[in-house]
Amino acid sequence: MGTFSSLGNHQTTGSVGVAIMAGVGSKLAFQNFETDAAASELTGYLTINGSLEKRTIDLGTLPQTQGSFNVAFPNGTDISYFNTVVVRAGEESIGQAMIP
């Protein structure tokens, strides 16, 4: 699993990995995720090297702002093109983790 590093002035911790679930599809598994960002909603993006300027996949609103949870990526997504997940609170990136 990849470990989150903080971005900006925020503390973001936890880890993320790819969970392949038979019959259900693949998902990103967030474990022990936590941030000090004061946001009621967080969004996630699959990126190449953490850049939001290049090709990205919008994962939408995360189902929780802390804890352990799974986030599905769109059907047909070739996860091998992406190596980093970036989490944002509004327009501010608050954390990122490499996807192993």
pLDDT for the residue numbered 73: 84
Among left, alpha and beta (phi > 0; psi -120 to 50; other), residue 50 is left
DSSP state of 52: S
Kindly report the pTM of this predicted structure.
0.92
pLDDT for the residue numbered 96: 97
Determine contact, residues 67/32, Cβ cutoff 8 Å.
yes
Burial of 15 (0-12, 13-18, 19+ CB in 10 A): middle
State pLDDT tens for residues 39-90.
Answer: 889 999 999 999 999 899 999 999 999 999 999 888 888 888 999 999 999 9
